[in-house]
Amino acid sequence: MKKFVYMLALVFALGISFNSVQAADKPAKNPTELTAEQAVKLEKIKTRVEEIRDMDKSNLTKAERKALRNELRELKGQARAISGGVYLSVGAIIIIILLLILIL
């Protein structure tokens, strides 16, 4: 069993080093810049979020507060989609954690 774990760690380490060697050959990518249309849409999202944050929510009903929360979640998703980024699913995170536990 120890041999298997050591072999798995060796393969994992070599795989990481190979990827870093390949990445060193590639030129650095410029960060993605937003187009004018995307910048305007992102600014609208920001102003709407600020409006919701400044609202007096004490006199809202439960359904209205829930609608505001849902709207904020949608706005957050739209902002992430516009600005781009790296996404890790829950399944990928679990697999990474399991691999780390097995290796260590």
Tell me the pLDDT of the chain (104 aa) as tens digits.
888 888 888 777 766 665 544 444 455 554 567 788 888 888 999 999 999 889 888 898 999 999 999 999 999 888 888 877 666 778 888 888 888 888 88
Q: Is residue 14 part of a domain?
A: no
Structural domain total, the chain: 1
Q: Is residue 61 part of a domain?
A: yes
Q: Is residue 96 part of a domain?
A: no
Identify the domain containing residue 41 by its residue range: 36-86
CA distance 74 to 70: 6
Q: Is residue 15 part of a domain?
A: no
Q: Is residue 10 part of a domain?
A: no
Q: Is residue 97 part of a domain?
A: no
| Tokens 């990928």 -> residue | 92
Q: Is residue 3 part of a domain?
A: no
Q: Is residue 41 part of a domain?
A: yes
Closest to 45 in 3D by CA, of 11, 74, 10: 74
